Structure 1
Amino acid sequence: MSTQWQIVHDAESPEVVLATDFPVSGRNEGGFTELAPRLDLDCQLWQTVPPVVAPGTDLDPADYLRPWLTEIRESGYRVRSVLGYCAGSVFAGALAQEIARWQDGAPSIVVFDPELVDVPTVHLQFGRVIGNMTTVLEADELTYIEQEAQRLAKADGVTPAEFAANLFEMFRPLGEKALARTGMEPEFAEELISLVGSFMAYLSVASNIDPRPGWARATAISSTSPGSGLNRLRSSGQGGEPGFVAEELRFDVEHRDLLRTDDAAKAVAEILTK
């Protein structure tokens, strides 16, 4: 059984579609498990299982990607396409570029509200994680975490990777204390704490990868949410100019529902059959 990829859709085929995301139960954004049934795929769809590692400035993107790439190559499947959601779009671009080195015919790339990870991205995503813990964290702890996160974000010259590592270092003791108050078994609590660390590491590594060579031939699926994907990149001056992606398809739907909408799924299904 794979430890690097989760089979979201199974089929008898020599080809596979890959999807890069950080899937967690309970999030309000749609995921590839919701998109897959709408695609009517005739091949497998695999979704990333992010490594359980703590964030740090010494995380090497090549080391982080290697387990995913090794299992793909050893599987013998031909990769038809690589999909990516939000920050996962960074990994989609990078994986597709690497797969093209050994595979005859580069896989197509489809990115959903692609994000370049910067300090505000890490701050926003960390805030969403903490928002899911309001039932276990006390009011003074939530206030402290919010104030510390703001302070750390404003540190001179802080990189996204440094910020992610600092956030997790600050959060860990508070999270452990809060989960202990609930009576949760220590090993179970450690799994939840490690999940937060793994997510911060995921964002940290993504911040150190330049996905734009891959995105230059990608189709971007965009929502109407101004703070997401190419909408945000354009307004912040980080990207979205001609050539940033090969094609953009826009849908009248919020970011959180982008992988749930039938119209977007229909468009992606057409791309995957080309």
Structure 2
Amino acid sequence: MAELTDWQLLCDRGPELVLCLDFAGGRAAAGFAELAAAAPADSCFLHLRPPAPRGEPDLLDPRLEEWVRQVLATGRPVRAVLGFCGGACLATRVADAVASAGHPPPRTVLFDAVVPAGATALSDQFTAAITASAEHLTEAELDDAHRYAERLLDRYPKDLPGIAAALAGRYETLMTAMAGRLALHDVFRRELTAGFASYLTYLRLASQGGLDTHTGTPLFVSSVDHEPEQAAAPEWTVSLDVDRADLLRDAETTKLVADVLRGEFSW
């Protein structure tokens, strides 16, 4: 298989490609690796790797061109593109790019699709990240970090690159302080800060996408409590009686994806 620097192989059980887009960070919710392992389908599942920051401007189109170039260079047909949460906004753009390159439009399935809300999404994830480490930070550090994020939103609501860089810098400062208190190796601190910067980059890229496609119509699959952000016809939606955390490992989801790949489910 051609070099896939931006994609990770999840499983290879057949010639057709299934492209999976999500940020595979440390979380309790199931990911596409579990879906790929369980899906009874003769396909090759690839997962987008966490994108590294590339400086400014960091635009989706050049990244998209490279992602799709690598995939098409394998010589394998793209059967489907799957997106989860904010990755749904990237999955639609990948599917369109594959079709624009003269290939058959892949089936596009979006799980608990969400459109990242620009600067607010960046600030929310910063808050979530420092909250996860709250027991190792002082109250003053946490309060100051919250106020810092609020000031950035108030003063520079449209400057996503500036906000992302500032939040990544503040996160690194906090993780440096935490690592010092816990006597953690600097490699661990660097992994934390690099992972957070990558996640902010991912959110910025996803915010440049959307839930629409130029070729075909995505299938929207929702967990039990998910409220779709985009109205879709009933025949384009499936609601499963499963929690969000288990959506990508649930047997119903696995069967649905297998049916889509075999052409036994249409919308």
TM-score, length-scaled by structure 2: 0.86
Alpha-carbon distance, 1:161 to partner:
4.9
Alpha-carbon distance, 1:225 to partner:
2.6
Question: How does 1:1-274 map onto structure 2 within 5 Å?
Answer: 2-11=4-13, 13-25=14-26, 27-53=27-53, 58-118=57-117, 119-155=119-155, 157-158=157-158, 160-213=160-213, 217-226=217-226, 230=228, 233=229, 240-242=230-232, 247-274=236-263
Q: Deviations over 1:2-49 (max 9, x none)?
A: 4321111121x3211010011023x12210112123311201101111
Is the 1:180–1:189 Cα contact (8 Å) retained in structure 2? no
Aligned equivalents of 2:217, 2:38: Cα separation in 1: 24
Alpha-carbon distance, 1:126 to partner:
2.9
Is the 1:51–1:64 Cα contact (8 Å) retained in structure 2? no
The corresponding residue for 1:236 is none
Aligned equivalents of 1:16, 1:257: Cα separation in 2: 24
Paired residue type of 2:209: I
Aligned equivalents of 1:169, 1:215: Cα separation in 2: 40
Is the 1:160–1:207 Cα contact (8 Å) retained in structure 2? no
After superposition, the Cα gap between the structure-2 partners of 1:214 and 1:168, relative to the gap in structure 1 and judged at 3 Å, is farther
Paired residue type of 1:9: C
Aligned equivalents of 1:160, 1:186: Cα separation in 2: 28
Alpha-carbon distance, 1:187 to partner:
3.6
Is the 2:168–2:193 Cα contact (8 Å) retained in structure 1? no
Alpha-carbon distance, 1:65 to partner:
2.3
Tell me whether 74-83 or 150-159 shows the greater mean CA deviation.
150-159
Long gaps (5+) in structure 1: 234-239
Aligned equivalents of 1:154, 1:113: Cα separation in 2: 29
How many equivalent residue pairs?
260
Percent of aligned pairs with the same residue?
A: 27
Q: Deviations over 1:81-117 (max 9, x none)?
A: 0000101111100111001122431111001111111
Aligned equivalents of 1:30, 1:157: Cα separation in 2: 33
Is the partner of 1:19 in helix, strand or coil? strand
Aligned equivalents of 2:215, 2:173: Cα separation in 1: 39
TM-score, length-scaled by structure 1: 0.84
Aligned equivalents of 1:182, 1:160: Cα separation in 2: 32
Aligned equivalents of 2:66, 2:96: Cα separation in 1: 16
Structure 1 vs Structure 2 CA RMSD: 2.5
